[in-house]
Structure 1
Amino acid sequence: MLKLISLKLVSALSILGLLAACASQPHQADYTAFKKAQPRAILVLPPVNETADVKASSSVLSQMTLPLAEAGYYVIPVALMDETFKQNGLTTPNDIEQVAPAKLRDIFGADAVLYSKITQYGSVYQIVDSTTVVAASAKLVDLKTGDVLWQGLGSATGKEVGMNVNIGGGLVGMLVQAAVRQVAHSLMDEGHEVAGLTSARLLSAGPPNGLLYGPRSPKYGTD
């Protein structure tokens, strides 16, 4: 009986060890299509805004060029992209996303297009705390073939960019602190700064799940 229990215990420990090993290894994105396409120039479209904050799309869009450039890609100037669509009567992200990839390639000469979506933007109030949260997703699509080269998620909070107000005094102090933060978030447009961190995380390069480094990066071809 004791021997049977020992065998079961060893078996259980082995299974737990295997599960722990699997959990410790991050999921590796499939870069097959990305490496085949080897995009050099990227067109960034205005993010589709699924939040109630009308500033969300322009705020996130204004900060997406930097991480892509740092990753080694040429990014079609946002002002050029925006004016081109306006001249053709397209003023909303939803309408712009309906333009066929082949047409985008003809107009802008880019190799790939970045589609993105903002799922959260603004203050989150939780009884005794308050912060700003910005969350977004994105996918990179080959303008020649229409293949999805990469997909990713990114999010950040106001606590991570140092915009906090600390007030002592136990529970009452915590409630007051939450209220003060709520007002401060609105007055300072904290979302824009948090959006910068979200964009950096969303579009960072390097495995296991980031973009591949572009041809302008010294790390090109190493991932």
Structure 2
Amino acid sequence: MNTVRIVLVLTIAAALTGCMSFPYHDPLAAYHEVKPTSILVVPVVNESVDVQAPTSVLTTLPRLLGEKGYYVFPVNTVKTVLEYEGLYEPAEVHQVAPSELAGWFGADAILYVTIHEWTSRYIVVSTTTEVDFEYRIVDKNGVELWTARKSLSYTPQNEDSGGGMAGLLSMAITAAVERAAPNYLPLTREANAQVFYYDSPSLPPGPYSPVYEQYYQNLAEEKAAAEAN
């Protein structure tokens, strides 16, 4: 008898589950509602010991954002305006109310970037260069629209090193070159490209992108299909 009851309960539960419709979940609902046209890229906060890191990261951002279809305020203009307002340190800029920051430039959204790691580690006969960035976009009211974090590393491989002492010497030279001039910029560009284009959720295209209309049309169709099931 108990077995019959258990089977009956499971059957009813399965039937009810099949009839239930789950609401469409959009992880970027806030972003899709705001649909920013312009993005203000503010100075990068640096938690590494390399004083050149923020400048290197900052210079890689506008081009990719422009390619995604957004208007990006010129970095030098942003720096001049912020200094005019008495803001010289990135950490201070990040503490300013988003409404105030956006108001100075007429921006729809603000991109904050923090460098958590920017190092080159030398171990025996190899050098590994590592970066770790955190990205955050908020609208002019401070509402968080999109976040991402990316860690990447690069260890040069010497394919012609061969074996024996000659191979070790060649590897040591390759490692020394990488240590003297770490491959930061390619890693930085790759990190930006991955979070803007390939990671989930990637940054939606801006209004100046040729895929903008198609993107939002596909989004509307996905939502309609999900709600219909």
If the TM-score is normalised by the length of the shorter chain, which range does it land in? 0.7 to 0.9
Question: What is the CA distance between 1:182 and its match in structure 2?
Answer: 3.7
Larger radius of gyration: 2
Match of 1:188 in 2: 181
What is the identity, as a one-letter code, of the residue corresponding to 1:111?
D
Structure that is richer in helix per residue: 2
Give the Cα–Cα distance (whole angstroms) in 2 for the partners of residues 51 and 91 of structure 1.
18
Match of 1:129 in 2: 126
Give the Cα–Cα distance (whole angstroms) in 2 for the partners of residues 117 and 134 of structure 1.
11
Give the TM-score of the pair, scaled to structure 2.
0.74
Give the Cα–Cα distance (whole angstroms) in 1 for the partners of residues 166 and 80 of structure 2.
49
Match of 2:87 in 1: 90
Question: What is the CA distance between 1:90 and its match in structure 2?
Answer: 1.6
- State whether structure 2 residue 36 is matched by structure 1 residue 42: no
Question: What is the CA distance between 1:89 and its match in structure 2?
Answer: 2.4
Q: Is this contact kept in 1: 2:151–2:191, CA < 8 A?
A: yes
Q: How many residues align?
A: 190
Match of 1:110 in 2: 107
Q: Is this contact kept in 1: 2:97–2:142, CA < 8 A?
A: no
Instruction: Say which of 140, 149, 169 aligns to 1:153.
Output: 149
Match of 2:13 in 1: none
Question: What is the CA distance between 1:177 and its match in structure 2?
Answer: 5.1
Between 1:51-60 and 1:122-131, the stretch displaced more is 122-131
Cα distance, 1:82–1:173 mapped onto 2, change above 3 Å: farther
Question: What is the CA distance between 1:37 and its match in structure 2?
Answer: 0.7
Instruction: Give the share of equivalent positions with the same residue, in percent.
Output: 33
Cα distance, 1:187–1:200 mapped onto 2, change above 3 Å: same
Question: What is the CA distance between 1:189 and its match in structure 2?
Answer: 4.2
Unaligned 5+ segments in structure 2 are 1-24, 220-229
Equivalent position SS for 2:51: coil
What is the identity, as a one-letter code, of the residue corresponding to 1:80?
T
Cα distance, 1:37–1:180 mapped onto 2, change above 3 Å: same
What is the identity, as a one-letter code, of the residue corresponding to 2:163?
G
What is the identity, as a one-letter code, of the residue corresponding to 2:185?
H
